[in-house]
Amino acid sequence: MAAKDLEALAALTSFPVYVGLPNVGAVETEEDFLKLGAYAVFTEGLIKSIENADSGEFKPSMAGFTISDGGTANINFGVTDGVLAISGIND
């Protein structure tokens, strides 16, 4: 997050992925995700939420877990094909 490395974020993502940004929604492929651009994905709200997330408060479940400061901006992880991966990004 701090480096705003979209390729690294994409490598952790399972596609298709939901991206809760204006006029985005479901993103089918890594290529389409990268086309969104780092500026669009790494919003100020998302960066602050991830920076302020309390890792001691993560509550993993069979559905996965969310990294967030408690607000609406977050990154959701779940298991896809036996691998933990990003399943949603919300601003």
The distance of Cα 24 from the centroid of its chain, to the nearest Å, equals 13
In this predicted structure, the answer to whether residue 63 has a pLDDT above a threshold of 80 is no
Domain edges within the chain: 6-90
In this predicted structure, the answer to whether residue 58 has a pLDDT above a threshold of 90 is no
Average pLDDT over residues 50-56: 89
Q: Which residue has the higher pLDDT, 56 or 74?
A: 74
3-state secondary structure of 54: coil
